[in-house]
């Protein structure tokens, strides 16, 4: 799998800063306006580079991995060094950096980029391919992603957990704040509140995804997620806009990333009707007297609605696995 290691640039001298500014800003001009201010020639060939997957406000300057040399020298200013080719100096300049995450031990460097952080400081993004050994997981952990709780989790051993229940409170709080500020027309303030909200939600997403993966690893489970594709609108049509903004894809990606790093397989299963079907008897003659309560008119059970959906996701995955093992893997695996 591919992982990205974020690195902060350290010990930048005036000349090196000038080089980075020259190539980085020149590259922005080249990418946006097609104007060549004399940047190093190999950077210009990057025009066809697909940036879609990496979202930055500016274009990351690609430092091709062939041109990159990373040295690990404990006695120097920085633990790692990278050579930046430039028109300003023959042979380029060596720029030191520190990693913000752990450097992968057996990773193969695929690409490297020069970017800026939110404060405008230079950083490197190093993209590694790391070998992952898939471990066989005899058990299943199913996740229902929702609005009231970010994730409702159950596994084939009978464990249940509700995670990220704070999401609604966070949403409501920030909506209230934004509205209050909005009336006073403090646009900048509204924007910064929005950014703060995103950070808080992001932290929650990381925490929830970590908890799910930890639970899966501990109980030897593969992870099955309900695939919202196509039914999202329908399912949430009636809900108001505070809760509509479920960061579904972000959470899915975090779970997938954290799980695959540990060799845990992640599958998707169609979520169609999982919230309407009774997990006990399979009947669809069911009612939702409230957002969290589920009632089956056929067998008369009352159940937590999210948990009912999670159990259905797990059962559906079990069915796929027993009826057609191979195609279940092929169709529903992310890999």
Interaction site with Zn ion (CB under 5 A): 278, 280-281, 283, 296, 298-299
Q: Which is nearer to Zn ion, 203 or 298 (CB)?
A: 298
Q: Is 69 left (phi over 0), alpha (psi -120 to 50) or beta?
A: beta
Q: How far is the CB of 295 from Zn ion (least distance, A)?
A: 9
Structure tokens at 29: 């001009």
Structure tokens at 61: 């300057």
Q: Which is nearer to Zn ion, 283 or 304 (CB)?
A: 283
Q: How far is the CB of 280 from Zn ion (least distance, A)?
A: 5
Q: How far is the CB of 318 from Zn ion (least distance, A)?
A: 18
Q: Which is nearer to Zn ion, 139 or 283 (CB)?
A: 283
Q: How far is the CB of 245 from Zn ion (least distance, A)?
A: 32
Q: Which is nearer to Zn ion, 303 or 317 (CB)?
A: 303
DSSP 112-125: EEEEE-TTS-EEEE
Residue with tokens 């009912």: 308
Q: How far is the CB of 333 from Zn ion (least distance, A)?
A: 30
Q: Interior CA angle at 95 toward 53 and 15, to 5°?
A: 115
User: In terms of DSSP bridges, do strands 160-163 and 93-99 run parallel, antiparallel, or are they unpaired?
Assistant: unpaired
Q: Which is nearer to Zn ion, 135 or 299 (CB)?
A: 299
Determine contact, residues 212/163, Cβ cutoff 8 Å: yes
DSSP 34-93: ---SS--HHHHGGGG---TTS--SSPPEEEEGGG---EE-TTSSSSEEEEE--SSSTT-E
Structure tokens at 292: 């969290």
Q: How far is the CB of 294 from Zn ion (least distance, A)?
A: 9
Q: What is the dihedral of CA 46, 52, 55, 59, to 10 degrees?
A: 20
Q: Which is nearer to Zn ion, 116 or 280 (CB)?
A: 280
């Amino acid at each position: 799998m591919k992982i990205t290691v974020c690195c902060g640039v350290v010990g930048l001298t005036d000349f090196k800063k000038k080089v980075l500014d020259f190539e980085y800003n020149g590259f922005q001009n080249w990418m946006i306006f097609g104007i060549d201010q004399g940047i190093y020639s190999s950077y210009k060939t990057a025009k066809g580079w697909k940036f879609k997957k990496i979202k930055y406000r500016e274009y990351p300057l690609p430092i091709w991995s062939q041109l990159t040399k990373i040295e690990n020298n404990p006695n120097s200013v920085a633990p790692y060094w990278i050579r930046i080719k430039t028109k300003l100096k023959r042979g380029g300049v060596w720029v030191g950096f520190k990693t913000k995450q752990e450097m992968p031990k057996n990773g193969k460097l695929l690409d490297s980029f020069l970017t800026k952080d939110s404060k405008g400081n230079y950083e490197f993004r190093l993209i590694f391919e790391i070998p992952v050994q898939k471990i066989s997981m005899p058990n299943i952990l199913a996740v229902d992603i929702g609005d009231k709780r970010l994730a409702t989790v159950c596994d084939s051993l009978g464990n249940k957990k509700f995670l990220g229940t704070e999401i609604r409170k966070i949403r409501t709080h920030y909506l209230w704040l934004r509205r209050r500020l909005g009336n006073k027309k403090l646009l900048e303030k509204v924007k910064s509140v929005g950014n703060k909200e995103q950070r808080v939600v992001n932290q929650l997403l990381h925490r929830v995804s970590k908890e799910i993966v930890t639970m899966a690893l501990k109980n030897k489970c593969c992870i099955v997620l309900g695939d919202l594709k196509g039914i999202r609108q329908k399912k949430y049509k009636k809900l108001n806009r505070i809760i509509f903004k479920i960061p579904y894809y972000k959470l899915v990606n975090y779970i997938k990333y954290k799980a695959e790093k540990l060799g845990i397989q992640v599958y998707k299963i169609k979520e169609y009707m999982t919230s309407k079907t009774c997990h006990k008897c399979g009947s669809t003659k069911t009612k939702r007297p409230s957002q969290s309560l589920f009632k089956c008119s056929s067998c008369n059970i009352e159940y937590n609605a999210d948990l009912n959906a999670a159990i259905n996701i797990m059962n559906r995955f079990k069915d796929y696995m027993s009826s057609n093992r191979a195609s279940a893997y092929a169709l529903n695996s992310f890999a």
